[in-house]
Structure formats: C-alpha cells, structure tokens
Amino acid sequence: MINLAARDILHGWGKFVFTGVGLGLLIGVTLSMAGIYRGLVDDGQALLAIGGADLWVVQRDTLGPYAEPSSVRDDAYRALLAVPGVAEAGNVTYLTMQIQHDAGEVRVMLVGIEPGHPGEPGYLVAGRPITRSHYEAIADVRSGLRLGERIRIRRHEYTVVGLTRRMVSSGGDPMIFVPLKDAQEVQFLKDNDALVNERARTAANPEFNRPGVPGLLEAVQASQSNSHSVNVVLLRLAPSADEMKVADQIRRWKHLEAYTRSDMNEILVAKLIDTSARQIFMFLVILSIVSAAIVAFIIYTMTLNKVREIAVLKLIGARNSTIAGMILQQALGLGAIGFIVGRTAATMWAPIFPKYVLLLPGDAVRGALLVLAICALASVVAIRAALRVDPAAAIGG
Amino acid sequence: MNLRPGRKAALGAVGIGVALLLAWLVTSQGPLASTKVTVAKVERGTLTASTFGIGTVEARRAYALGPTVASRVLRVLVDQGDAVKAGQLLAELDPVDLTDRVTSAQLAAERATSAIRAAQAQLDEARSRSRTARVSAERSVELRAKGFISQEAVEAKAYEATASDAAADAAAAQLAVAVRDRERALSDVSGAGKLRAQARLVSPVDGIVTSRLVESGTTVVAGQAVLQVIDPASLWIRARIDQGHAGGVRVGQPVEIALRSDQKRTYRGQVQRVDWVSDAVTEERIVNVGFAARPEAASVGELVEVTIGIDQLVNARSVPTAAVKRINRQDGVWRVRQERAMFQPVKVGITTLDGRSQILDGLEDGDEVAVHSDRALQPDATVKVVSALVGSAP
C-alpha cells in the first residue's frame, strides 16, 4: 500500500516544510504567551518562596507588603516569637526603587533582611551571603549587577557580595537584598536636604523651641529622624504548629494581620496579577483562533491546489477514506512540524524576553494535543472540498 | 516505499535531528533537567573571626561651658575651631551686681574688724574692773575679821566682784561674736568673689572650641551651654555592633577603622570600652574604639566602619558560607553523590566576614559540598557540577 500523504509531501517537501515552519513560529508565539502567563504566576510564587516563610504578619486591615503598603514596628517580632508555635521570625522591608547602574537606571525591589532569619534568599548562584550588618548587598542576576561591584543606594555605597536567581517582585523587578537597618534608612529616613529643612521647621516652631527648656529641641529632632518600622514580619512555624491557629492568635491578641501561604498566594495571584493574567489569556485565545484559521486555510489551499490530482485518484477508483486520510495525515504532519518548531523557538527566545517566560512541559503536552486537534478539525473543511471534487475535472477543465 | 536513497537519508537525518532536539528540550529545559551546582572542598586553614559595626567619631572628653546662674552673656572671646589653652578666658557673663556685692561684703568685713577692736577694749575694761572689785572684796573680808566693817559691807563688796566677773565674761562673748561676724563677712567676700569668677568662662583643658552657641547680649539659663570645647587628644569612636555579633568583643582587641571621608585608608585602633548597657530598641551593643594614631582627617560626628578582630582559629575546618543552608531549623550542607543532592546536617562554628563558615562536626577534610545552585536544591535532585554559574565581573 502506497502512503499517499508521504508521497505527496515528498513531492513538494520544501513547500510543506516551509509552511510547517511558518505555522511553527505562530505556535511559538502562542506558547510564549502561555509561558508569559505562567511566568507571571511563577514570579508571584517565587516571591512567596523566598525566605521560606509560613506566615506573613502585616499591619492590621492591609493586604500585606506586596499588594498594599504595610508598616509594623520592628520590635513586634519579639511579641510574635512568644506566640506558641512560632519558631523563627524575621523582619523584612520592601521598596521598589530605581538605582543607578552602568550610566543607566535599573528598576529593582530593595529588600531589607536580617541575615540568618526568614526572608533571606534561599540559594546563591555566586558569591557569599551577607556577613556584615551594613553596606553589603545580594542582587538578582537580572539586575545586571556583578559580583564585587559597588552600587550607590541613596546615601550609602553597597558592595555586591552575592548573586541569586529568580528572586523577583510580583512585577518582575529583580530584587536586591541588603541588611535590614540599611533598608529601613533608605525607606523611612529622608534625604539630607529634607532633614535640614525639617530641622529648621521644627526649630521655628515655638512649641518645640521654648526658652528655658534646654535640650527640648534636640530631643524632638532626634525623635523625628529615627525609624523603627518594617513592612512585614515573616514567621517560620514549628513543624507541629497549625498555621491557621497561630494566625488566629496573632490576629486576636497582637492586633496585627497574619496571612498564611495560601492567603498570600490568593492575594498575589488572584488579586495582584489577575488583570494582566486575563489580558494575556485573551491574547492566547485570539492567537489560538488565528492559528486554527491559518492551519485551516493552509490545508484548504493545499487541497485545492491538488484538485486535478484528487480527481485523477477518484477516476482510478481510490476510496473516499484514502483521500480523506491523505489530507488528515498531511494536516497532522503540518501540526507536528509546527509544534516542534514552535516549542523549540519558544525555548530559544524565552530568555531574551524582559519578563520571565516559564514553559511548562504540561502546557507543551496540552499545546501539542490542541494543535493536532485544531489541525484535524481544520482538515475537515478541506476533506469536504476534496470529496466533492468531480472526477470529470481530471479530464475536463 | 520506493524512495530514492538520497531522499531517504535526508529524511532520516531530519528525523534524528528532531528527536535529538526533543531530547535536548526534555532534559535541559523541563523539570527533568538537572540543577547546575558549583562545589567546593572542605578546607583547613586559619580563620579570623571578626565582627563589623558602624559608628561615629566622638570626643571622649567634651566640655559644655555655661553659667551656674541665669545671666546675660557679656562677650564671647573665641570662635568655633579656635585652639584654646587650659585656663584661658573664653567668654564673660555680665556680673550685674556681683562686684557691688563683693565691695559690700568687704565693707562689712572692715566693720566687723572695728567691732572686734571695740569688743576687745570693752573686755579689757571689764577685766580690769573685775580685778579691782575682787581685790576690794578680799580686803573687805580681812577688815571684817578684825571687826572694822559690817558683814553687810562685805557682802556688797562680794556682789560687786561677782558682777564685774560676769561683765568681763559678757565682754569676752561680745568679742567672740565680733570675731565670728568678721569671719562671716570674709566668707561673704570670698563667696561673692567666687560667684563673680563664675561669670568668667575659662577653658578647663587645652582643646578646640567646637561650637559657639550664643552671642553677647543673650540671656542664658543656669546650665545652658555657651561654648563647647573638646580635648582633641581624646577622640574615639562610638561604634554600634549588632547584639547577635557582639558576644566576643573585649577590651583590647585590634580594630580596623575606615573613615567615611577617607575610605581607601584603614586606620588601626583598639577596643577601649564595651558598654554595659546595650541599646534595647536597635538591639545594638555600644563599643568604644580608640585610634592608635589620631587621623588628621577625622571630624567629630563622622561615620566610620569598624571591623573588630575577635579571634583567630588556627587549623580550622571550613566551607564557603554560601554552602551552609538552614532547613527545618537545622544547619546543613548539600553534598553531591553520584549526581544526586543529599542534605548533610553539620554543626557550624564561627562565620568570618569574608564568607567562610567553620565546620565543627559533620564533614571531613576534603569532602565536597555544593556551594551555588541555579535553583533551590531538593533532596535527591539530580545535579550537574559546573565550574561557575554566572560569569565573573570583567
């Protein structure tokens, strides 16, 4: 039995392969879109995975450090450590800011951590952890910073001592980890001009600058310039502790809000990146429809180009199933080539994207099945047209 | 299929290529891909345990000069930055009536001196009268024995003698009062004089004027500083060390100091005092560090970084700190065996500032541990050892 599809493809294999590659690039774009969506979700989850926290304790009635601003006193951790079930606590601050680097600016998320406590990056790809309590930084490789480089953040210079990977904010900005006290200074202390202005303003206020009360002005000014706040306290629980119970305890008695990992996941994925995720999903749907339409067109034109040959086949007595099989096989072959090319292309260009593109094998399998289903469906139109061909067309026309 | 051999070969090659591509995709990109790690051997060597802190340059001996009573500043003779000698007059306060009070006290003292003389004369007179009366009384007793005078006359003479004795005592007391009065007047003179001396602000040491806080004509309250003088030889650093790292800090340990204004140079110093009281809010220990040689560049209030050498461990076993991970409250390292990751709990000793952690227990010399990885390691994950994960800085 001669395989008609293979023979036909070999007859004009160049055209067939090129059509497949073209289709593949389109599928690659579709897969990348899916990858961008997965990457968005994964960025959110990477953010939660950093530091290995079980509970996020934030200011009451706020949605935590990622979705809303939150401010907690930095000595709250002592009270939290006393809650039964809490094993470790770490103060963390987050601040999205621009830093100067290589004559340009990089948008980064500055994270203040206490080395050795929850909140510090889980692994490094180069360098060492922070060992000094000031002026050292660990940067995500995406920030473009290199080991040993000195960067200026507000009024101090920091040395990059370690590099890490996939430590990004929910918006995909690379993180820079610095010691907590430095980060507090960056976030809550004003710049020098503002400090001087503020001092002058306080000195001009007769309430604070009273004659006959030496030291009052200095005391007021000192109280204005220190900061003891953090954005979140990350808690790690004892293995036996029930996170819901501990969270309830904290809400009830410490007057702070506590979120478990699933709560935070909900906030990050369902609330924060929901709109962009839906946007990308719309693109995905449109691209799928366009791909299906293009496959259908290609198969249809390929079939129409062969009207005469099909008529001849019919004339020599080929069965309808043989002709339908030939078209279906060609369509599926086109789909297979397209998928492989698309998947490879997506893998190749994924690292160039400014945002993280996560290509899941599960998505690839689903994509492959979808592509083959679309191809099969698209071939139906062509098969119908082929079956309607009048055998007389082989002689006439 | 009766294909031409060339076509067949080409198709076969394409098929193999596609299969290889797929295999590459599955093994290098998906979750089946192995985690790339770098490894390091456990090494023996000298580890320097040190701790790091930041602080400010301060004057150990700083003097705030001001009046002891509310007064007005008459004149200020020095300005900020002036070098002054011990005893030098720096500022003067308006003495108002202090000079008059000194004069008044002196006059009172002179009056008291005159009063002493008068009292002395009165005492002399009373004594002389007393002597005469006593002699006369004795004689009258003899005359009575011979029967020349009456008993009544004898008693009158005895009374006269007792009364003149009492008068002499009174005069002596008057004299003592006058002497005390004079002493009091002299004390008043010296007190008012001291008060007047307080109105002159003199430098207690050879030093530098660091601030001139008020100008002449200003009224200041008791205790308010007019000038501040520091002893430049007493410059030291008030450093704050995180409580978690301050355990080993002791007086006498060597310190490396970097000044903000002169970052390239390192100055030597020594821990001179470790405060008994920590800052409870910032959770930092206050440590004072003295300079071995006072840097010319240092200014009071300047930010400095101090690195305190706490201990030297000779022949200690260590791994890079990046290799030490904390999983389920247990310190450990990832070891690589037959391309699989395995968590090995260890006991960690000191951690040096350049990123080496002492291993007390759990590893032997020459053991290999994973240092860096391109994602978080899981037990039994397949790993691939590479020399570096990211390119180093150019």
Q: Which has the minimum average pLDDT: B17-31, B49-63, B64-78?
A: B17-31
Q: Is the pLDDT at B273 greater than 90, yes or no?
A: yes
* Predicted local confidence at residue B1, as pLDDT: 45
CA atoms within 13 A on the CB side of A213: 10
Q: By percentage, how much of chain B surpasses pLDDT 90? A: 43
Q: Is the pLDDT of residue B5 over 70?
A: no
Chain B residue with minimum CA distance to A346: B25
Q: Which residues of A touch B351 (CB under 8 A)?
A: 131
DSSP string, B108-124: HHHHHHHHHHHHHHHHH
Supply the pLDDT for residue B24: 74
- pLDDT, mean of residues B186-193: 89
Average pLDDT score, chain B: 87
pLDDT in tens, B351-364: 888 889 999 988 88
pLDDT at B256 over 60: yes
A131/B392 touch (CB, cutoff 8 Å), yes or no: no
CB neighbour burial string for A202-240, b if at least 16 within 10 angstroms, e if fewer: beeeeebeeeeebeebeebeeeeeebebbbbbbbbbeee
pLDDT, tens digit, 9 for 90 and up, residues A187-233: 877 777 788 888 888 888 888 887 777 778 888 887 776 678 899 99
Of B242, B245, B304, B325, which to mutate for an interface test with A (greatest number of A Cβ within 10 Å)? B242
Cα angle, residue A56 at apex, residues A51 and A61 outer, rounded to 5°:
155
Which B residues in the span 312-351 are in contact with A, Cβ-Cβ below 8 Å? 320-322, 325-326, 328-329, 351
pLDDT at B31: 59
The answer for B 345-384 residues in CB contact with A (under 8 A) is: 351-355, 371-377
Q: What does the alpha-carbon distance between residue A241 and residue A252 come to, in Å, rounded to a whole number?
A: 17
Asked whether the predicted pLDDT for residue A2 surpasses 70, the reply is: no
- String of b and e for A305-327 (b: at least 16 CB within 10 Å)? ebbebbbbbbeeeeeeeebbebb
Residue A176: closest CA among A126, A227, A273, A106:
A106
Count of pairs with CB atoms under 8 A, one residue in A, one in B: 104
Residues in chain B: 394
pLDDT digits (tens, 9 = 90+) for B130-177: 999 999 999 999 998 888 888 898 899 999 999 999 999 999 999 999
Among the partner residues A131, A214, A361, nearest to B221 by beta-carbon distance: A214
> Chain B: nearest CA to A214, how far in angstroms?
7
* Model pLDDT for residues B281-340, shown as the tens digit of each residue: 788 899 999 999 888 878 888 989 999 998 888 889 999 999 998 887 788 999 988 888
Give the mean model confidence (pLDDT) for residues A67-95: 89
pLDDT at B393 over 50: no
> Residue A9: is its pLDDT beyond 80?
no
Residue B193 has pLDDT above 70, yes or no: yes
Look up residue B189 and give its two tokens: 């003179």
CA angle A239/A245/A246 to nearest 5° reads 65
Distance CA B282, CA B289 (A): 20
Inter-chain touch B376–A162, beta carbons under 8 Å: no
pLDDT for B21 beyond 80: no
Which candidate from B54, B353, B374 shows the least CB-CB separation from A125? Answer: B374
pLDDT reading at A1 higher than 60: no
**Shortest Cα–Cα distance, B321 to chain A (Å):** 6
- Do the Cβ atoms of A129 and B372 come within 8 Å? no
Chain B residues with beta carbon closer than 8 angstroms to that of A212: 221
Reply yes or no on whether the pLDDT at A10 is more than 90.
no
- What is the reported pLDDT for A378? 81
pLDDT at B58 over 60: yes
B207–chain A nearest CA distance, Å: 24
Treating both helix axes as pointing N-terminal to C-terminal, what angle do A361-387 and A320-349 enclose, rounded to 10 degrees? Answer: 150
For A308-358, what is each residue's pLDDT tens digit?
888 888 888 888 888 888 888 888 888 888 888 888 888 888 888 878 888
Return the percentage of chain B with pLDDT > 70, whole number.
95
Neighboring chain A residues of B32 at a CB cutoff of 8 Å: 361
Quick one: average pLDDT of A113-136? 89
Report the gap between the CA of B178 and the closest CA in chain A (Å).
43
Pick the residue from chain A with its C-alpha nearest to B351.
A131
Contact A379, A326 (CB under 8 A): no
Q: Is B54 at the interface with chain A, CB within 8 A? A: yes
- pLDDT at residue A257 in the model: 92
Q: How confident is the model at residue B82, as a pLDDT?
A: 92
Nearest to A303 by CA among A378, A397, A395: A378
Q: Which residues of B touch A113 (CB under 8 A)?
A: none
| pLDDT of A130 | 92
Q: Which of B343, B374, B377, B383 to mutate to test the interface with A (most CBs of A within 10 A)?
A: B374
Collect all residues of chain A within an 8 Å Cβ-Cβ radius of residue B374.
Answer: 125, 165
Do residue B21 and residue A162 have CB atoms under 8 angstroms apart?
Answer: no
Residue B389, C-beta contacts closer than 8 angstroms, at least 6 positions apart: A125, A126, A165, B36, B38, B372, B373, B374
Q: Flag if B221 and A212 touch (Cβ within 8 Å).
A: yes
Q: What are phi and psi of A152, to 5 degrees?
A: -105, 125
Mean pLDDT, chain A, whole residue set: 85
β B235-242/B89-93 pair status: unpaired
Instruction: Enumerate helices (H) and strands (E) in chain B, giving the number of each.
Output: 3, 22
- Check: pTM over 0.90? Answer yes or no: no
- The residue of A133, A167, A340 whose CB has the most chain B CBs within 10 angstroms, and thus the best one to mutate to test that interface, is A133
For residue B10, how many C-alpha atoms fall within 13 Å in the half-sphere facing its CB?
8
pLDDT of residue B25: 67
Separation in Å, CA of A397 to nearest CA in chain B? 32
pLDDT over 70, % of chain A = 98
User: Which phi-psi region, left, alpha or beta, contains residue A70 (left: φ > 0; alpha: ψ -120 to 50)?
Assistant: beta
pLDDT tens, position by position, A38-63:
888 888 888 888 878 889 999 999 98
Whole-number pLDDT of residue B26? 65
pLDDT at A20: 85
Q: State whether B25 and A228 contact (CB < 8 Å).
A: no
